[in-house]
């Protein structure tokens, strides 16, 4: 297991991206909130509406707020054209800006409301115009309180920016999400330490400015502002130095197999001389649309997922017919090229501990119906919303005592600890064999097949170099090889590997 | 105060706030150079009437003429620079040193007050010119109000209006500052209108006393006339208080002698 101190120095580019994103969001929030606060201080109605809206935004979980901007921006393409980015910096900036509004706005409005009425009367009495009163009296006297609001906003924003990873914006969330999925706790800790350190540094620096404003010490105030500016400039410079021509962007969803395959694809492309970039830990729905819009170039998706979620089909025409229909549909409707199938299936399946299944006399989903009312079923966060679950539930008439959501890697732990009796497992998961799990048979064929497919965005669909580099992967990965690689990443003993190492081993196993 | 030109004219001024009538029809002329005290109980409308002069309050009906011009037609910022305003809250700007507080009016007009002039203004209110660099929170209450007066005088106003200017001060400071203002009034040739609820202060400082009750002026007399029993019941009720105090003090002195 990597030591956290070895990982931290490698997070420089993530830190730079994190700083630029957070600073942009706070800067934009200030540009919006401060004029709004001035307006609100002149009109109680405006104050009530703006504070109400900003509070409402706060009640939306940050993760959901970030995700909501993807469909919003996608629909806005009708107005602004196809060039509008739907993933990455823009939606992350918009969501975090909304999030940062409330503390700035609330502190600014409160500061103005609490100004000494005598001082305001004097400002009018000596003949100040509205603007003079704002610039000479209200703004300087409110500044320390507004700065306190900016401090709060900064700490929140730096924390919430780790979630930008899920919509494809590089940040210090990348190591956290990657580490969570692969149970690499050093990586999680490194990401947390870095973002917490950044938040503390920002908080202290802004505190210096706040005190400078309160003491009316110009040296302290401007010194603090200068250090903040230097930090942002350094981050911008570091980011600018790293970015050149558009790289090939490879996506991975939030489970180990996706991280491994992304590394496998990336290694092959790099060997062929392409510059690549990884967008790890994306939501499943985001990945599909992102490839269609060329925000992401390469992903691995599964036939059953595309069939039910995007073709909106509930029937099961059989493995080959399904694949052919998807291939045709992706090309015709999205311009996405399905390069081929990797050779293994990662199907949804229901799994139980072998001894528990024997005890209850369960071997198939049909057997499960009778005992289900006494059992708890666990699924990944999206599972109980997915058509696959609804199809199985309705086909067999399954009624469980309860349903619980777990992050994919924790589902297996839940099964071992008894927090779930049945889980929605994945057939390529190495832990099925390692944990002595029984995959329940599906005699009614309610679950579709889930062949892993290599998807290329419209942008690179015709790129012969990319196609040549990736074609050897087609049909090359057996389910056994994939399980072994997955287990290597998911296990928690000394043999645990990084996704990159597991990908290299998988390449050897597959003979490519 | 004979045959002086009117500097201020209240013409049937009415001020209503919702259902409450604070000023219920005031008509009154104030001659240039006079020192007028506006006296009444709390809620009699005296502060509201005063604030119509520099348009901190706009009359619901009627008009206020300053130097012959309707104040509502003047640019409020420019009008307020011609009218020195001193009030109980003082309202020094806590983020400016004393000198900048004094110089704010001219600064707003685009004029930079030289340090000598600031020193002179501080000297006028009997403060050490070195105080110009101090921050307001380093001053005592009395010193702050002296700075408030200096700030009001910095723009060389034609008219000084004061709203309970000494209300928050201790009696010794209060008497000293009252006398100082009266002295400056004479020396600088000001016209002064002072709102106070203290009839003794009004009688001692002003040369004309207007008594307000329920939003109207119920008496308009010289101090001498008021002491002679003129002005009606309300005014005499207010005069009775300091008179009785003075008589009791005199009686005590008599017993001691």
**Domain range enclosing A256:** 248-345+449-509
Mutate to test the interface with B, among A119, A125, A129, A132 (most CBs of B within 10 A): A125
A216 and A93 within one domain: yes
| Residue from A111, A116, A122, A142 whose CB has the most chain B CBs within 10 Å, to mutate | A122
Q: Is residue A13 included in any domain, yes or no?
A: yes
Same domain, A138 and A203: yes
Average pLDDT over residues B204-215: 94
Instruction: Mark whether A365 and A471 lie in a shared domain.
Output: no
Instruction: Inform me whether the pLDDT recorded for B155 exceeds 80.
Output: yes
Quick check: B76 and A127 CB within 8 A? yes
The mean pLDDT of B54-59, rounded to a whole number, is 92
- Helical segments of A310-374, H only: 319-329, 354-360, 365-371
- Testing the interface with A: which of B104, B137, B153, B167 to mutate, by most A Cβ within 10 A? B104
Residues from B in contact with A at Cβ < 8 Å: 54, 56, 76-81, 85, 87, 89-95, 104-105, 108-109, 151
A444, part of any domain: no
Q: Is A128's Cβ below 8 Å from some Cβ in B?
A: yes
- Is there a single domain that holds both residue A24 and residue A170? yes
| Residue A389: predicted pLDDT | 87
d(CA B122, CA B99): 9
Nearest beta carbon to residue B93 from set A127, A129, A137: A137
Minimum distance, in Å, between the CA of residue A218 and any CA atom of chain B: 12
Q: Report the CATH number at residue A435.
A: 3.40.190.120
Q: Specify the pLDDT at position A254.
A: 82
Domain match, A224 and A113 both: yes
Nearest to A216 among B87, B95, B108 (CB): B95
| Chain B contact set for A140 (CB, 8 A) | 95
Q: Please give the pLDDT value at position A454.
A: 95
Contacts of residue B166, defined as CB under 8 A and 6 or more positions apart, other chains included, come to B145, B173, B174, B177, B178, B196, B201
At A1 the pLDDT is: 46
Question: Under an 8 A CB cutoff, do B94 and A116 touch?
Answer: yes
Let me know if residue A226 belongs to a domain. Answer: yes
**Which residue on chain B is closest to A122 by alpha carbon?**
B91
**Are A125 and B87 within 8 A, CB to CB?**
yes
User: Does the beta carbon of A137 lie under 8 angstroms from any beta carbon of chain B?
Assistant: yes
What is the CATH number for A178?
Answer: 1.10.3720.10
| Residue B4 pLDDT exceeds 70 | no
> Taking CB atoms and an 8 Å limit, are A126 and B87 in contact across chains?
no
Residues A118 and A140 in one domain: yes
pTM, two decimals, is 0.72
Q: Which of A117, A129, A140 sits opposite B95 (nearest CB)?
A: A140
Mean pLDDT in order along chain A per 10 residues (512 residues): 74 90 95 92 88 88 86 83 79 92 91 90 90 92 93 95 88 87 83 94 94 88 92 84 70 89 93 87 82 89 89 85 94 92 90 91 91 90 82 90 84 88 88 87 86 93 91 92 90 85 91 81
Element (H, E) at A249: strand A248-253
By Cβ distance, the residue of A122, A128, A141 closest to B108 is A128
Determine whether the interchain pair A136/B92 forms a contact, defined as Cβ–Cβ distance below 8 Å.
no
Measured between CA atoms, how close is A210 to chain B, in angstroms? 15
Judged by CB atoms closer than 8 Å, whether chains meet at A118 and B90 is answered as yes
The enclosing H or E element of A403 equals: strand A402-405
Query: Do B91 and A116 lie within an 8 Å CB cutoff?
Result: yes
Residues in chain B within 8 Å Cβ distance of A129: 77
Options 3.60.20.10, 3.40.1410.10, 3.40.50.300, 3.40.50.150; which CATH number does B6-251 get?
3.40.50.300
Residue B90 banded pLDDT, cuts 50, 70, 90: confident
- Residues in chain B closer than 8 A to A124 (CB atoms): 56, 80
Locate all alpha helices (DSSP H) within A243-337, ordered by sequence. 256-271, 284-292, 303-309, 319-329
CB contact under 8 A, A119 and B85: no
**Same domain membership, residue A457 and residue A340:** yes
A83, two tokens: 């060039």
Asked if residue B8 lies in contact with residue B65, where contact means CB atoms within 8 angstroms, the answer is yes
Is residue B71 within 8 A of residue B32, CB to CB? The reply is: no
Rounded (5°) CA angle A296-A380-A185: 75
DSSP string, B60-128: SEEEEEETTEEGGGS-HHHHHHHEEEEETT----TTS-HHHHHTHHHHHTT-PPPHHHHHHHHHHTT--
Q: What is the reported pLDDT for B257?
A: 62
Interchain CB contact of A123 with B (< 8 Å)? yes
Burial A356-380 (b: 16+ CB within 10 A, else e): bbeebebebbebbeebbeebbbbbb
| Cβ-Cβ contacts under 8 Å, A120 against chain B | 91
Partner residue facing B108 (CB), from A116, A132, A141: A132
Q: Are residues A338 and A481 located together in one domain of the fold?
A: yes
The alpha-carbon gap from B90 to the nearest alpha carbon of chain A, in Å, equals: 7
Domain end: A242, A268, A287, which one? Answer: A242
Name the minimum distance, in Å, from the CA of B89 to any CA of chain A.
5
Q: How far apart are CA A252 and CA A502, in angstroms?
A: 15
CATH of the domain at A458: 3.40.190.10
Mutate to test the interface with B, among A111, A117, A119, A127 (most CBs of B within 10 A): A127
pLDDT at B3 over 50: no
* One domain, residues A183 and A304: no
Contact A123 B151 (CB under 8 A): no
Could A125 and B79 be called an inter-chain contact, meaning their C-beta atoms sit closer than 8 Å?
no
- Structural tokens at position A77: 């393409």
**Beta carbons of B37 and B202 less than 8 angstroms apart:** yes
**Distance between CA atoms of residues A4 and A112, nearest Å:** 46
What are the residues facing A300 on neighbouring strands?
A: A454
Number of other CB atoms surrounding residue A487 within 10 Å: 21
Residues A24 and A98 in one domain: yes
Tokens of A375: 């059992």
> How far is Cα A8 from Cα B199, in angstroms, rounded to an integer?
77
Domain boundary among A421, A439, A457: A439
Structural domain count of chain A = 3
Give the C-alpha separation, A164 to A173, whole Å: 7
User: Could you state, in order of their start, the residue ranges of all structural domains in chain B?
Assistant: 6-251
Let me know whether A27 and A8 are in one domain.
yes
What does the angle CA B94 – CA B193 – CA B199 come to, to the nearest 5 degrees? 100
End-to-end CA distance of chain B: 40
Query: In the prediction, which pLDDT does A244 show?
Result: 52
Instruction: Give yes or no: residues A52 and A126 share one domain.
Output: yes
A376-379 and A298-302 strand pairing: unpaired
Q: Which helix (H) or strand (E) holds A402?
A: strand A402-405
| Best to test chain A binding among B54, B93, B134 (most A CBs inside 10 Å) | B93
Beta carbons of A123 and B93 less than 8 Å apart: yes
Residue A236 lies in a domain: yes
**CA–CA gap between residue A391 and residue A425 (Å, rounded):** 16
Going by their DSSP bridges, the two strands A402-405 and B6-17 should be labelled as unpaired
**Of A384, A417, A439, which closes a domain?**
A439
Q: Report chain B residues whose CB lies below 8 A from the CB of A116.
A: 89, 91, 94
Count of CB pairs separated by less than 8 Å, A with B: 62
Q: How far apart are CA B62 and CA B16, in angstroms?
A: 12
What region, left, alpha or beta, does residue A349 occupy, with left being phi > 0 and alpha being psi -120 to 50 degrees? beta
Name the residue of chain B whose CA is nearest to A140's CA: B95
**How would DSSP label each residue in A409-478?**
HHHHHHHHHTS-SEEEEETT-THHHHTTEEEPB-TT--SPP-EEEEEE-TTTTT-HHHHHHHGGGTT---
């Amino acid at each position: 297991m990597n030591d956290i101190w070895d990982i931290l120095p490698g997070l420089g580019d993530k830190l730079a991206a994190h700083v630029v994103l957070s600073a942009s969001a706070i800067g934009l929030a200030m540009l919006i909130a401060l004029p709004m606060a001035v307006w609100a201080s002149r009109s109680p109605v405006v104050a009530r509406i703006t504070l109400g809206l900003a509070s409402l935004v706060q009640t939306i979980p940050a993760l959901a707020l970030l995700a909501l901007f993807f469909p919003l921006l996608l629909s806005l393409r009708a107005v602004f054209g196809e060039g509008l980015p739907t993933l990455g910096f823009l939606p992350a900036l918009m969501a975090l800006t909304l999030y940062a509004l409330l503390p700035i706005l609330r502190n600014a409005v409160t500061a103005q409301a609490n100004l000494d009425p005598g001082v305001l009367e004097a400002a009018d009495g000596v003949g100040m115009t509205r603007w003079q009163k704002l610039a000479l009296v209200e703004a300087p006297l409110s500044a320390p309180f507004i700065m306190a609001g900016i401090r709060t906003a900064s700490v929140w924003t730096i924390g919430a920016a780790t979630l930008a990873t899920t919509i494809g914006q590089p940040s210090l969330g990348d190591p956290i999400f990657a580490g969570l999925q692969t149970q690499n706790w050093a990586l999680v800790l490194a990401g947390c330490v870095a973002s917490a350190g950044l938040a503390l540094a920002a908080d202290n620096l802004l505190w210096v400015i706040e005190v400078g404003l309160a003491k009316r010490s110009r040296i302290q105030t401007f010194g603090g502002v200068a250090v903040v500016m230097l930090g942002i400039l350094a981050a911008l410079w570091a980011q600018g130095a790293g970015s050149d021509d558009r790289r090939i962007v490879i996506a991975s969803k939030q489970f180990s197999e996706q991280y491994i395959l992304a590394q496998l694809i990336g290694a092959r492309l790099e060997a062929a001389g392409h510059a690549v970039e990884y967008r790890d830990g994306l939501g499943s729905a985001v990945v599909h649309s992102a490839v269609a819009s060329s925000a992401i170039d390469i992903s691995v998706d599964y036939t059953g997922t595309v069939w039910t979620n995007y073709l909106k089909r509930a029937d099961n025409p059989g493995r080959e017919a399904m694949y052919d229909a998807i291939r045709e549909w992706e090309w015709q409707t999205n311009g996405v090229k399905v390069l081929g199938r990797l050779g293994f299936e990662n199907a949804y399946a229901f799994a139980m501990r072998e001894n528990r299944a024997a005890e209850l006399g369960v071997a198939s989903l049909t057997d499960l119906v009778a005992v289900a009312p006494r059992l708890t079923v666990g699924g990944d966060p999206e599972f109980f919303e997915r058509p696959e679950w609804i199809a199985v539930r309705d086909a067999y008439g399954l009624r469980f005592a309860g349903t619980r959501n777990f992050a994919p890697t924790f589902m297996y732990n839940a099964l071992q600890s008894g927090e779930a009796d049945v889980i929605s497992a994945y057939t390529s998961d190495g832990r099925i064999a390692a944990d002595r799990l029984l995959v329940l048979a599906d005699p009614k064929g309610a679950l579709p097949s889930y062949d892993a497919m290599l998807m290329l965005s419209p942008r690179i669909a015709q790129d012969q170099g990319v196609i040549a580099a990736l074609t050897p992967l087609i049909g090359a990965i057996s389910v056994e090889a994939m399980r072994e690689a997955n287990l290597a990443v998911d296990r928690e003993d000394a043999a645990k590997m990084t996704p990159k190492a597991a990908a290299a081993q998988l390449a050897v196993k597959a003979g490519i | 105060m004979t045959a002086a030109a009117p500097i201020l004219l209240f013409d049937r001024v009415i001020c209503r706030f919702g259902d409450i009538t604070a000023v219920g029809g005031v008509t009154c002329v104030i001659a240039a150079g006079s020192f007028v005290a506006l006296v009444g109980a709390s809620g009699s409308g005296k502060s509201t009437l005063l604030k119509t002069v520099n348009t901190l309050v706009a009359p619901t009906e009627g008009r206020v003429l300053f130097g012959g011009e309707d104040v509502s037609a003047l640019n409020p910022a420019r009008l307020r620079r011609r009218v020195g305003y001193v009030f109980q809250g003082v309202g020094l700007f806590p983020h400016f040193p004393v000198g900048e507080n004094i110089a704010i009016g001219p600064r707003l007009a685009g004029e930079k007050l030289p340090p000598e002039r600031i020193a002179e203004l501080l000297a006028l209110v009997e403060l050490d010119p070195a105080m110009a660099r101090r921050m307001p929170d380093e001053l005592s209450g009395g010193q702050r109000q002296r700075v408030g007066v200096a700030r009001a005088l910095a723009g060389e106003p034609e008219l000084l209006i004061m709203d309970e200017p000494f209300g928050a001060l201790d009696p010794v400071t209060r008497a000293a500052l009252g006398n100082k203002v009266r002295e400056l009034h004479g020396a600088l040739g000001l016209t002064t209108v002072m709102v106070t609820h203290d009839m003794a202060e009004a009688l001692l400082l002003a040369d004309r006393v207007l008594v307000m009750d329920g939003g109207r002026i119920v008496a308009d007399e010289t101090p001498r006339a008021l002491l002679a029993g003129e002005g009606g019941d309300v005014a005499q009720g207010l005069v009775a208080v300091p008179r009785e105090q003075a008589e009791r003090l005199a009686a005590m002195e008599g017993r001691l002698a």
